[in-house]
Amino acid sequence: MNAFAGRMEGRQGVTGSYLEIRDLVKSYDGYQQAVRGISLAIAKGEFVSFLGPSGSGKTTTLMMVAGFEQPTAGRIVLGGREIAPVPPHKRNIGMVFQNYALFPHMTAAENVGFPLRMRKRPAAEITRRSREALAMVGLADFAGRQPRELSGGQQQRVALARALVFEPDVLLLDEPLGALDKNLREHMQVEIKRIHRELGITTIYVTHDQTEAMTMSDRIAVFSQGVVEQFAAPLDVYLRPATRFVGGFVGDSNFFEASGRTGMLEVAGLGTLSLPQAPVSASGRYDVLVRPEAIGLWRGSGDRAGHCVVPFTVTALVNYGDSVLLIGSSGDLSLRARIPFMLATDIREGTALSLSWRHADMHCIPA
Ligand SMILES: Nc1ncnc2c1ncn2[C@@H]1O[C@H](COP(=O)(O)OP(=O)(O)O)[C@@H](O)[C@H]1O
Ligand SMILES: [Mg+2]
């Protein structure tokens, strides 16, 4: 661990909420709301992703935390202190923007030292800490290069070092890897997680990439149209989505409409099923989710206890190498089933077969 990581280490391991966003609202034009009442409590040292489609309010929320946008209503509390009235440079929050935003005529070291110059630190300290921060992101040997002499990935590391150099309480990353190709993106994901582990810094990571959010985060806040639909651990979001939007946005899905009240649900296309896992629905209506990988081929005949069994005609196959996605229909139902490649070698477009899945794998979302 280098000196930089050593100084930051004491910040790790505190539990309870550290960064709290309460009933946050933002309207840019006084008419439409880009953020419509978001509340989140983030623990110290936590790595949280904001995941959602373009225009769902992720950047707007981040900019309010950073202080570059003023909330229309609501509160932001950091370490017990209300920060809405505090200007950005006094919040001790580091931010990396999607487009790097490096100063083109400064070297990497000068870019990284910039926040310290703004804070009027002595020259010797600026030199030393800039060097440490560049070493932290693996760019010790590139201090003298200008941005145009660096690759996209290296430029983004410089931006990261610049956000970390003043030892911020919170690190905000707005789609930092969006412009990088796939291999570099995966490499940088690992690097960012390493830095997070070493520094223990509370981090918010904005992305529209569900895989990135799933693999990197302690918790994911799923954004849609200015609200957070679910804030939970990655596997909870995947296995127990709170809303139909979350179930459809994260991962591949089959949805069935259903109604009923006592765990006996009438499921469109499937008949009456006993689904005791269904929570109470005030409307009596449900969206029932079954993941394609929970559906398998069924070579038996007749009913299968605790399972749905349906006839199925394949209309398209998508080969992923290790698995095959079967797309097709069962009567009026469209279905997607993902099965191991080895089981699909004799399946073609037009093949008629039977599919089966467990009632227990039907996740019921009140509609
Ligand atoms: N500076 C701005 N002025 C006016 N509207 C904006 C501004 N920034 C964002 N918006 C609007 O606010 C909504 C949320 O945008 P944004 O927070 O950028 O979403 P995301 O980061 O999730 O893509 C969008 O409808 C967008 O058009
Ligand atoms: Mg954005």
Instruction: Select from 199, 216, 239 the last residue of a domain.
Output: 239
Are 61 and 24 in contact by the 8 Å Cβ rule? The answer is yes
**Same structural domain, 185 and 269:** no
Q: Is the dihedral of CA 149, 154, 157, 159 positive or negative?
A: positive
Residues 175 and 88 in one domain: yes
**pLDDT on residue 96:** 94
Average pLDDT over every residue of 81-107: 90
Which of 205, 239, 273 is the last residue before a domain boundary? 239
Atom of ligand 1 nearest to the CA of 69: 1
Residue 13's pLDDT is what? Answer: 42
Is 19 inside any structural domain?
Answer: yes
Which regions of 146-277 does DSSP assign to beta strands (E)? 170-174, 202-207, 219-224, 227-232, 254-260, 264-267, 271-274
Judge whether 212 and 260 are in contact, CB under 8 Å: no
| 72 in the same domain as 17 | yes
Q: How far is the CA of 103 from the centre of ligand 2 (A)?
A: 21
Instruction: Let me know if residue 100 belongs to a domain.
Output: no
pLDDT of residue 2: 57
Shared domain for 276 and 230, answered yes or no, is no
* Predicted pLDDT at 14: 43
| Ligand nearest, relative to CA of residue 69 | 1
For residue 35, tell me if it sits in a domain: yes
In a domain, 150, yes or no: no
pLDDT of 5 reads: 57
CATH number at residue 206: 3.40.50.300
Q: Is residue 98 situated within a structural domain?
A: no
- The count of other CB atoms within 10 Å of the CB of residue 257 is 14
Sign of CA dihedral 8, 12, 14, 18: positive
Q: Cα separation of 165 and 113, whole Å?
A: 7
| Per-residue pLDDT reduced to its tens digit, 182-220 | 888 888 899 899 999 999 999 999 999 999 999 999 999
Residue to substitute in 25, 59, 224 for testing ligand 1 pocket (most ligand atoms within 8 angstroms of CB): 59
Does one domain contain both 193 and 84? yes
Q: Is the pLDDT assigned to residue 297 strictly greater than 60?
A: yes
CA pair distance 222, 85, nearest whole angstrom: 27
Which residues sit opposite 255 in a β-bridge? 289
Domain assignment present for 24: yes
Q: Which residue ranges have their beta carbon within 6 Å of ligand 1? A: 28, 34, 52, 54-60
pLDDT of residue 99: 77
Q: In the predicted model, is pLDDT for residue 10 greater than 70?
A: no
pLDDT(11) > 60: no
Residue nearest to atom 27 of ligand 1 (CA): 55
Kindly tell me if the per-residue pLDDT of 6 is higher than 80: no
Q: Who's near 136: CB < 8 A, 6+ residues apart?
A: 2, 4, 5, 161, 164, 195, 198
256 Cβ contact list (under 8 Å, min separation 6): 267, 268, 269, 270, 287, 288, 290, 333, 362
Residue 15, pLDDT above cutoff 70? no
Q: What are phi and psi of 46, to 5 degrees?
A: -75, 150
Q: 129 in a domain, yes or no?
A: no
- Give mean pLDDT, residues 211-236: 97
Q: Which residues contact 69 (CB under 8 A, 6 or more apart)?
A: 26, 60, 63
At 121, give phi and psi (nearest 5°): -80, 155
How many independent structural domains does the chain possess?
Answer: 2
Residues 189 and 83 occupy one common structural domain: yes
pLDDT at 12 over 90: no
Alpha carbon distance 246, 234 (integer Å): 12
The residue-averaged pLDDT of 82-104 equals 89
Angle at 295 between CA 290 and CA 297, to 5 degrees: 160
Q: Tell me if 204 is assigned to some domain.
A: yes
Pair (179, 222) in one structural domain? yes
Classify strands 73-78 and 47-51 as parallel, antiparallel or unpaired.
unpaired
CATH classification of the domain holding 337: 2.40.50.140
Domain that holds residue 77: 3-92+167-239
* pLDDT digit string, tens, across residues 110-163: 999 999 999 999 999 999 999 999 998 999 999 999 999 999 889 999 999 999
Residues 278 and 345 in one domain: yes
The confidence band for 3, taking pLDDT boundaries of 50, 70 and 90, is low
Statement to judge: residues 215 and 288 lie in one domain: no
Q: Which one of 239, 271, 296 terminates a domain? A: 239
What separation in Å is there between the alpha carbon of 55 and the centre of ligand 2?
A: 7
Which bound ligand lies closest to the C-alpha atom of 175? 2
Residue 359 DSSP label: G
- Helix 182-199 / helix 152-164 crossing angle, nearest 10 deg: 20
Same domain as 353, residue 260: yes
User: 341 and 269, same structural domain?
Assistant: yes
Segment 214-228 mean pLDDT: 97
How far is the C-alpha of 298 from the C-alpha of 231, rounded, in Å?
36
Q: What's the pTM?
A: 0.90
Considering the domain architecture, whether residues 173 and 36 belong to the same structural domain is answered as yes
Q: How far is the CA of 151 from the centre of ligand 2 (A)?
A: 23
Residues 115/164, Cβ–Cβ less than 8 Å: no
> CB neighbours of 337 closer than 8 A, spacing ≥ 6?
292, 295, 296, 297, 312, 325, 326, 355
